Structure 1
Amino acid sequence: MAFQPIYDALDDRVWGYEALVRGASGEGAFEVLSRVSAEQKYRFDQDCRVKAIELASRLFPAGEDLKLSINFMPNAVYEPAACLRATLLAAERYSFPTSSIMFEFTENEEVTDTAHLTNIITEYRKHGFTTAIDDFGAGHAGLGLLVEFQPDLIKIDMKLVRGIDNSPSRQAVVTGILAMARELGMTVLAEGVETEMEFRHLAAGGIRLFQGYWFAEPEFERLPPVQVVPA
């Protein structure tokens, strides 16, 4: 696992870290996942969760209120309660609070059974987990996911963030997402921020949480320092 910080611009602090899958030689998540067969997906998903919690329990500074963001594959979850057992056991084993865990499901993974995903999110919330849609605005379902599932947090895809300071069309779309999120009581995070101007524009528009190379690149099994420029 590599870790990338999520920055809270309002409080000027690290809000949490996303755990990102890496191969033994540094391969990215896409390359690693491309080698996971359909039959292996469930075990792989479970092992990644446990590894992320184990590392976070060791790396996160004691006493700090930090979120651990873990990606999961809805199509790998056969029964929500049963699939959470390893997660809950790992949290107990490593004394890691379940309220500090956020599960992201990507909009890029096509969900064929919406009732199943609803059951997953309902079960996760019972245990105090935060839920998030990753890559929002660039995947299969778009607004339908907000209508059906109403997660706690939306991560705006980097394709909408890239060059937003000079793109009226991106500005209009992101403004609309922010308005919807306010109405639905959801938090918005901008991911893939790579320039100071992108950050300043998004912060001025009311976004509080940020992630991207402008703040820090992911680092293998350690917490990278965060570059912050006062707004």
Structure 2
Amino acid sequence: MIDLDPPGFHPPRPVAGDAGTRHTVVYGSYTVFSVFQPVFSVSHRRAIGYHASLRAHDEDERHVPSHEVFTQAARRGDLLELGRLAESLHLGNFSAFDSNDEWLFLSLHPAALMDTSYGDAMLAGLKALGLPPQRVVLEVPEQAGGETGRFAEIVDSLRKSGFLIALGGFGAKHSNIDRVWHLRPDIVTLDRVILAQASEHSHIERVLPGLVSLLHESGQLVLMGGLSTEREALIALECNVDFMQGAYFAGPSTKPVDPRIAASAMDALSAALRERVSARERLQAERLAPYVAALEQACARLVAGEMLEAATQPLLALPETARTFLLDAQGRQIGDNLVPLGRRISRRAKRFSPLLHSEGASWERRPYFTAAVRSPGHAHLTAPYLSINEAHLCVTASIAAQTAKGLQVLCVDINWEATGL
């Protein structure tokens, strides 16, 4: 770290400056300036906002980490003054953008939010620049303000003044969905940690769409940032997030992104996702085809009058069949599960032994039942889901048919984790 405090030296206070058409802040030998990283909506095929951050250089135009400048300011007692100037810096440079109605995302320090004069000062600055507060998204750190009612009141007051509120870093450390419900942000930014874990672990990747769906149902738009590779961008897109940001699309810059380049990048990503989904569906169809064929044959034998055990023997002989079972027209299970003979019971299955026997159980709300009875004679496949029998992922194939005992639905659970699909 550079020491700016030689004996007898008193640096000048931070002051506003300019570098060509850009506003800057000069602090001692440092010049601090704004850069803006675009936030994209793939659906709109364009940038819908810009996230402001700081860069700094010294008198020799050498890059200096901005946090180093603020560390020095904190030591000298200039932090609040420098922070407010930096915020004005972002507003001034953003207003000079050749933009339409994009948002400006500002990351706020918790101390700034707890300052009762913060909102009024921000509104005054916006008024001087001719920017409405609806153009500004104030990003609150997820861990800021504890759970105090005062903090929530301040956030609500800023919202009522016209600002949009974003909750940043959701999913890191001690994140709690209750905090989303308490603060009611307009946008939730998922933490980069979630993305990194989803990129490495398929089970976490499978959970992400559900998390995004939960936030949507709670009334929040969802932003995923830190996207640096196509794989990460595809994970975000398939999770149905609303907005994306990261070096994969565009890094921080002093200029707005070219709309043509942005549209081309969004189109390329959408095309890559279509191919990814198509390839995955082809692979799944190939691997599940033997189970569907065996299910259809078992159903035909059942309709012809064979007993369930005999009709399903070829189906139970397939390597990843977990169980077969039969339902009546109301979704009630007829008899117990039929499992492959000689198949070793896993340690996990033993732990969930109270759930293994299902005679008389009602599955009328399960997709495999409802889909089958809507279209008798056609096999249906569920998406992977957590089986209640052994608490592990499975896919269920089902088919409904008229038998001598009325409409019945024959089902087979296929071990999803074992197939690696």
Give the TM-score of the pair, scaled to structure 2: 0.49
Helix, strand or coil for the counterpart of 1:96? coil
What's the counterpart of residue 47 of structure 2?
Answer: 14
Q: In 1, Cα distance between the equivalents of 2:85 and 2:248?
A: 30
113 and 146 in structure 1: CA distance in 2 versus 1, 3 angstrom threshold: closer
Report the CA distance between 1:15 and its aligned residue: 0.6
CA-to-aligned-CA distance 1:116-169 (integer Å, 9 cap, x gap): 321221111111111001121114544342132121101111121237355224
Larger Cα-atom Rg: 2
For residues 219 and 231 of structure 2, what CA distance do their matches in structure 1 show?
27
On the 8 A contact 2:114/2:151 being kept in 1, the answer is: no
Give CA deviations for 1:91-119 in whole Å, capped at 9, x if unaligned: 11111121110000122x54346223212
The offset of 1:189, in angstroms, is 0.5
Change (3 A) 1:208 1:116: same
Number of the residue aligned with 1:56: 94
| Aligned residues of 1:42 and 1:77 also touching (Cα < 8 A) | no
1:138-153 mapped onto 2 (5 Å cutoff): 138-153=172-187
Q: Is the 8 A contact 1:110 1:140 kept in 2?
A: no
Offset of residue 44 of structure 1: 3.5
CA contact (8 A) 1:133 1:151 kept: yes
What is the distance in 2 between the residues matched to 1:217 and 1:106?
22
Instruction: Report how far residue 170 of structure 1 moved.
Output: 3.1
Alignment of 1:1-231 (within 5 A): 1-25=34-58, 26-37=63-74, 40-61=78-99, 64-80=100-116, 82-107=117-142, 109-112=143-146, 114-162=148-196, 164-219=198-253, 221-225=254-258, 228-230=265-267, 231=270
Per the TM alignment, residue 200 of structure 1 is displaced from its structure 2 partner at its CA by 1.8
Which secondary structure state, in structure 2, belongs to the residue aligned with residue 99 of structure 1?
helix
- Letter of the structure 2 residue corresponding to residue 58 of structure 1: A
Q: Assess if the C-alpha contact under 8 Å between 2:105 and 2:138 holds in 1.
A: yes
Moved more, 49-58 or 157-166: 157-166
Give the number of aligned pairs: 226
Q: Distance in 1 between matches of 2:113 and 2:229?
A: 37
| Structure with greater contact order relative to length (CA < 8 Å, sep ≥ 6) | 1
AA of the residue aligned to 1:84: G
| 8 Å CA contact retained: 2:114, 2:154 | no
Encode CA deviations 1:60-114: one digit per residue, 9 max, x unaligned. 42xx12000011112233443x21222112111111121110000122x543462
Asked whether the equivalents of residues 36 and 50 of structure 2 are also in contact (C-alpha less than 8 Å), the reply is yes
State the 1:205 CA deviation. Answer: 2.1
Distance 1:172 1:150, change over 3 A: farther
- Quote the RMSD (CA, aligned, Å): 2.4
Cα gap change, 1:22/1:144 in structure 2, threshold over 3 Å: closer, same or farther?
farther
Q: By how many angstroms is 1:208 displaced?
A: 2.2
Q: Secondary structure at the match of 1:218?
A: coil
Deviation (angstroms), 1:217 = 0.8
Q: 1:34 and 1:138, CA in 2 relative to 1: closer, same or farther beyond 3 A? A: farther
Cα pair 1:195 1:214 within 8 Å, conserved: yes
Q: Secondary structure at the match of 1:185?
A: coil
State TM-score, norm by structure 1: 0.86
Residues in 1 aligned to 2:246 and 2:206: alpha-carbon distance in whole angstroms: 21
Q: Which moved more, 1:190-199 or 1:26-35?
A: 26-35
SS at match of 2:96: helix
Question: In 2, are the aligned partners of 1:46 and 1:87 still within 8 Å (CA)?
Answer: no
Give the C-alpha shift of residue 215 in structure 1: 0.6
> Secondary structure of the equivalent of 1:202?
helix
- CA distance, structure 2, for counterparts of residue 203 and residue 183 of structure 1: 18
Residues of 2 paired with 1:132 and 1:28: CA distance? 25
Identity %: 22
